[in-house]
Amino acid sequence: MALTLSIVEGSIVEGSIVEGYLRKSCFPAPQIDSHTPHPASRFRPTADYTKTVDLRESVYRSSSTLARVMIKSWMVIGAVTLLVALAASWVTPDDVRWFNRLRRPRWLTFEPAIPFIWTVIFICGAWSAYIVWESNPGRPQTLQLMGLYLLLEAVTIAYTPVMFRLRSLKVGTIIGGSGAVLSIILAVLLFPISLWACLLLLPYIIWSPIGTYTTWAMIRLNPEGTIED
């Protein structure tokens, strides 16, 4: 039994030595030259690899295109304009009664048309913002102009709820004048970018001073600026 084990062990050791010799002689270790570039640097993409990369890029472009198709810039601009405009309804019945009891100038015969006038002005303003965005979407200058559009609308919308809550025609005059100045500044900035975007602000530029003057004229007719129930 012991002799058998010794023979087997000897055969294993001898076999290992022979196998090692064959490996060294038949499959010599590669000589690494310090000047030889790393194999990874000599990588050449296969056809399958190239197809995979092209497929991923195609899927990414398709997803981006689909997102642009589904969500248009005019949808976003219109939604923001509408949401901000809804803030004008933040008034109470008492505030409305206060304003309705204020004395008006005799020449103010177009008051029923004012809501329609402002609707047209907001549509033109949103259209102007759309033209500016499409001319150079996503650029820092364009984003700054979008912020100025939003500021102008916020100031305009603040006229009614702020003046009604404070019951101050002076505050309304200041807000109206601020909107007029902002609209002129915005139009000047838009002129080098798009003439149409600039022209679409003309309804605001023309009407805002009229509305501001009307509020100022009401101050003279209502010096106290407040009429209690």
Measured CA to CA, the distance from residue 61 to residue 94 in angstroms comes to 55
Measured CA to CA, the distance from residue 4 to residue 15 in angstroms comes to 16
Domain edges within the chain: 64-221
Average pLDDT over residues 199-212: 95
Residue 67: predicted pLDDT: 42
CATH superfamily to which 64-221 belongs: TspO/MBR protein (1.20.1260.100)
Whether residue 206 has pLDDT greater than 60: yes
Query: Residues 120-169: pLDDT tens digits?
Result: 999 999 899 999 988 888 889 989 998 999 899 899 999 999 999 999 99
Residue 112 carries which DSSP code? Answer: G
Measured CA to CA, the distance from residue 43 to residue 105 in angstroms comes to 84
- The pTM score is 0.64
